[in-house]
């Protein structure tokens, strides 16, 4: 009788404060098409953010906590807690390039008894820095390799059979490069290692430190032309249409349907409903009536302590808690102040596309301003922001933040109590008509 039992793969993800990336990584992992049973185990090192909470929104098998991090010990702890025939390791900030990542790793072990491990390609994201991008592109090429003497191995994207790990576990004492230490041990034991470029992940970080940015940019400009197709791709999980964006508007007290403020709110709601990428619209108000009239979701403002006096930073933090309490888990919050009379057409989608393709945590419109500004310095004296009187084409502008036009922020930033944080992008606005507001002060 033919044995048709499927192999089992245990996917291990080591985490520490990876709230920003873990959801994207897990989406990619659970998007795999592979003829195997799969379990996913998180090995978390005392994260102080929402890494574990976000991970538990996905059907992971286990989340174990470790208080002291040593890379080899963390992997060994995860493997000891796993039940798979094969162990796949992937970094929390790595995103599988496609649904064939696991099957491409696994296929190498068929009829290959002397194979100790397989590691896959690591591609930079479009917004990865030039030094990290150069490192990834120079190390991880497009040709498959069978390594007989070379012991390079990388656990940001790898797979190892349990039977090999039983014989040669990862070193639990080293503070880094546990993968290369293990690679040397298995090569010396007579096993082989394979580099499989088809098993690719996107990895924001690089491999090496040092060298100048200028030199890295020169190398990258050549490598990007060579690998243009792959590098212009955006991981499916980061595509604007795959991102859960929740728009939020707030109002204090009652708003008459005959008022100018109501008309501007109605227009803002219409613009949001016409967006390609906004998934939900929430109105934070004392009463539900207005949200019913506008056909949007309501959040009870009275549930937020001191909602009328706390900062917008804190207000948005509490709003996110209310949204997640309703089992909606947006990756980004789009704060909109309906008080603005005009908005550029398509501005909401522009913000979302900018954020996804440039890797920004916060993006907002900024009015281009070449004015001269003064401020009090630490000595209490007036000082200029730009003392030159050069022509505009020789000066860098300032940007007046127009958060109310639409401020798009990652949930992890909002959760930390900030509306603006992380990597910031500004969408240039040059027409002052977009600054005009109704005569009404609102959060």
- Give the whole-angstrom CA distance, residue 375 versus residue 386: 11
| Interval 202-231 mean pLDDT | 60
Q: What is the pLDDT of residues 49-63, one digit of tens each?
A: 999 999 999 999 999
Q: What is the pLDDT of residue 126?
A: 84
In a domain, 212, yes or no: yes
| Interval 414-423 mean pLDDT | 95
Domain boundary among 202, 232, 262: 232
Full 3-state SS string of the chain: CCCCCCCEEEEEEEECCCHHHHHHHHHHHCCCCCCCEEEEEEEECCCCCCHHHHHCCCCCCEEEECCCCCHHHHHHHHHHCCCCCEEEEECCCEEECCCCHHHHHHHHHCCCCCEEEEEEEEECCCCCCHHHHHHHHHHCCCCCEEECCCCCCCCCEEEEEHHHHHHCCCCCCCCCCHHHHHHHHHHHCCCEEEEEEEEEEEECCCCCCCCCHHHHHHHHHHHHHHCHHHHHCCCHHHCHHHCCEEEEEECCCCCCCCCHHHHHHHHHHHHHHCCCCCCEEEEEECCCHHHHHHCCEEEEHHHCCCCCCCCHHHHHHHHHHHHHHCCCCCCEEEECCCCECCCCCCHHHHHHHHHHHHCCCEEEEEEEECCCCEEECCCCCEEECCCCCCCHHHCCCEEEECHHHCEEEEHHHHHCCCCCCCCEEEEEECCHHHHCECCCCCC
Same domain, 201 and 293: no
Q: What is the pLDDT of residues 283-299, one digit of tens each?
A: 999 999 888 999 999 99
Q: What is the pLDDT of residue 441?
A: 42
Q: What is the pLDDT of residues 350-367, one digit of tens each?
A: 999 999 988 899 999 999
Beta-ladder partners of 300:
285
Q: What is the pLDDT of residue 443?
A: 41
Q: What is the pLDDT of residue 216?
A: 59
Q: What is the pLDDT of residue 204?
A: 82
Q: What is the pLDDT of residue 1?
A: 46
Q: What is the pLDDT of residue 214?
A: 64
In a domain, 1, yes or no: no
Q: What is the pLDDT of residues 118-131, one digit of tens each?
A: 999 999 988 888 88
As a whole-number percent, the residues of the chain with pLDDT over 90 amount to: 66
Q: What is the pLDDT of residues 141-197, one digit of tens each?
A: 999 999 999 999 999 999 999 999 999 999 998 888 899 999 999 999 999 999 999
| Averaged confidence pLDDT in the chain | 89
Considering Cα of 394, then 396, then 402, then 405, what sign does the dihedral take? positive
Q: What is the pLDDT of residues 296-322, one digit of tens each?
A: 999 999 999 999 999 999 999 999 999
Count of beta carbons in the 10 Å neighbourhood of residue 265 = 25
Same domain, 307 and 201: no
In a domain, 177, yes or no: yes
Residue 281 has pLDDT above 80, yes or no: yes
Same domain, 138 and 258: no
pTM metric for this prediction: 0.82
In a domain, 249, yes or no: yes
Beta-ladder partners of 203:
94
Q: 241 or 167: which carries more pLDDT confidence?
A: 167
Same domain, 130 and 244: no
- Give the whole-angstrom CA distance, residue 118 versus residue 157: 9
Same domain, 255 and 160: no
Q: What is the pLDDT of residues 387-409, one digit of tens each?
A: 888 888 788 889 999 999 999 99
Same domain, 170 and 74: yes
Q: Are strands 94-96 and 86-90 parallel, antiparallel or unpaired?
A: unpaired
Q: 64 or 394: which carries more pLDDT confidence?
A: 64
Same domain, 156 and 246: no
- Residue 422 binned pLDDT confidence (cut-offs 50, 70, 90): very high
Q: State the number of CA atoms in the 13 A half-sphere of 379 facing the CB.
A: 3
Residue 209 has pLDDT above 50, yes or no: no
Domain boundary among 176, 207, 232: 232
Tell me if 259 sits within 8 A of 293, measured CB to CB.
no
Q: What is the pLDDT of residues 41-50, one digit of tens each?
A: 999 999 999 9
Supply the range of the domain harboring residue 321: 240-435
Residue 226 has pLDDT above 70, yes or no: no
Same domain, 313 and 168: no
Q: Are strands 8-15 and 86-90 parallel, antiparallel or unpaired?
A: parallel
In a domain, 76, yes or no: yes
Residue 210 has pLDDT above 50, yes or no: no
Q: What is the pLDDT of residue 238?
A: 80
Same domain, 352 and 245: yes
Domain boundary among 180, 205, 232: 232
Q: What is the pLDDT of residue 442?
A: 41
Q: State the number of CA atoms in the 13 A half-sphere of 83 facing the CB.
A: 6
In a domain, 442, yes or no: no
- Residue 384 binned pLDDT confidence (cut-offs 50, 70, 90): confident
Same domain, 139 and 280: no
Structural domain count of the chain:
2
CATH, residue 154 = 3.90.550.10
Q: What is the pLDDT of residues 244-278, one digit of tens each?
A: 999 999 998 887 777 888 888 899 999 999 999 99
Same domain, 402 and 424: yes
Same domain, 264 and 174: no
């Amino acid at each position: 009788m033919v044995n048709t039992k499927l192999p089992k793969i245990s996917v291990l993800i080591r985490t520490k404060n990876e709230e920003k990336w873990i959801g994207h990584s897990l989406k990619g992992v659970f998007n795999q098409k592979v003829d195997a049973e799969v379990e996913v185990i998180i090995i978390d090192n005392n994260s102080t953010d929402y890494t574990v909470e976000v991970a538990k929104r996905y059907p992971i098998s286990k989340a174990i906590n470790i208080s002291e991090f040593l890379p080899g010990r963390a992997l060994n702890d995860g493997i000891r807690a796993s039940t798979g025939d094969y162990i796949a390791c992937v970094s929390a900030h790595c995103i599988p390039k496609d649904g064939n990542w696991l099957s491409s790793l696994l296929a190498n072990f068929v009829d290959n008894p002397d194979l100790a491990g397989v590691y896959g390609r690591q591609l930079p994201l479009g917004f990865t820095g030039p030094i990290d991008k150069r490192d990834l592109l120079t190390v991880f090429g497009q040709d498959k390799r069978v390594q007989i003497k070379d012991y390079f191995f990388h656990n940001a994207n790898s797979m190892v059979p349990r039977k090999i790990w039983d014989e040669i576990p990862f070193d639990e004492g080293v503070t880094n490069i546990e993968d290369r230490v293990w690679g040397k041990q298995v090569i010396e034991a007579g096993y082989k290692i394979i580099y499989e470029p088809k098993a690719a992940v996107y990895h924001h970080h690089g491999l090496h430190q040092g060298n100048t940015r200028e030199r890295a940019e020169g190398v990258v400009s050549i490598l990007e032309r060579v690998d243009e197709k792959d590098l212009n791709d955006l991981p499916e999980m980061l595509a604007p249409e795959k991102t859960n964006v929740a728009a939020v508007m707030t109002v204090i007290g009652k708003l008459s349907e005959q008022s100018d403020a109501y008309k501007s709110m109605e227009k803002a709601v219409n613009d949001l409903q016409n967006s390609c990428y906004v998934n939900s619209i929430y109105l934070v108000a004392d009463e539900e009536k207005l949200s019913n009239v506008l056909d949007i979701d309501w959040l009870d403002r009275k549930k937020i302590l001191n909602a009328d006096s706390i900062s917008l930073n804190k207000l948005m933090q509490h709003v996110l808690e209310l949204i997640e309490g309703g089992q909606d888990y947006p990756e980004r919050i789009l704060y909109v102040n309906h008080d603005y009379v005009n908005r550029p057409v398509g501005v909401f989608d522009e913000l979302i596309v900018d954020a996804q393709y440039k890797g920004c945590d916060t993006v907002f419109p900024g009015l281009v301003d070449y004015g001269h500004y003064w401020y009090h310095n630490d000595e209490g004296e007036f000082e200029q922001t730009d003392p030159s009187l050069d022509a505009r084409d020789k000066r860098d502008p300032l940007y007046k933040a127009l958060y109310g036009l639409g401020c798009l922020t990652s949930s992890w930033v909002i959760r930390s109590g900030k509306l603006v944080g992380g990597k910031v992008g500004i969408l240039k606005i040059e027409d002052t008509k977009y600054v005009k507001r109704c005569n009404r002060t609102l959060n």
